[in-house]
Amino acid sequence: MDYSFDINSLDDLYQEVILDHYQRPRNKGVLTNPDISSKGFNPFCGDEIILSIKLDSNGKTKCILFDGQGCSISQASASMLTELLSNKNLDELKSISYSFRAMMRGESLSSGEMSLIEGLEVLEGVRKFPIRIKCALLAWAALEDGIEEYSVKVLKKEP
């Protein structure tokens, strides 16, 4: 599998943002007793991302951390995810994740959808390297799995 990727092929400003998140990742770590915990694993390279999320009493994200190792794209995308998804409810998380996924698939988004994923457009250039789209989506796949698992767990508890 060819994972070669030349970050210089991206717009200068976008490169800068991605490298900044890669070199100074935001919200890195693992929460103890998270409400949502999930792992994203890329079987082609062995890289993984662990997301842990604590919700507040209103069901909104109070704290989101990520951990793991991987390429600049996967780490930068995870770091951006933790910043963008703070103080959001689960439906909002899903909408943001689906919109990001749609952008990475090259679908055209409404202005409302674009505003949901404001800031993530720096990753759009990665689409030029189809094999690396998985890198950009690694943390988001973990997020979607984690929400799904949490929803099943919570529904089970309801009478």
Question: Which residues contact ligand FES (rule: CB under 6 A)?
Answer: 3, 42, 45, 47, 70-71, 73-74, 135, 138
Nearer to ligand FES, 51 or 116 (CB): 51
Q: Are 29 and 158 in contact (CB under 8 A)?
A: no
Q: How far is the CB of 58 from ligand FES (least distance, A)?
A: 33
What whole-number distance in Å separates Cα of residue 14 and Cα of residue 10? 6
If the CB atoms of residues 64 and 73 are measured against ligand FES, the closer one turns out to be 73
Give the H/E segment covering residue 101: helix 90-104
Q: Which residues are within 8 A (CB) of 35 and not within 5 positions of it... i.e. 6 or more apart?
A: 53, 54, 55, 150
Contact by Cβ (8 Å): 81, 73: no
Shortest spacing between CB 19 and ligand FES, in angstroms = 15
Of the pair 35, 47, the CB lying nearest ligand FES is at 47
Distance of closest approach, residue 2 Cβ to ligand FES, in angstroms: 11
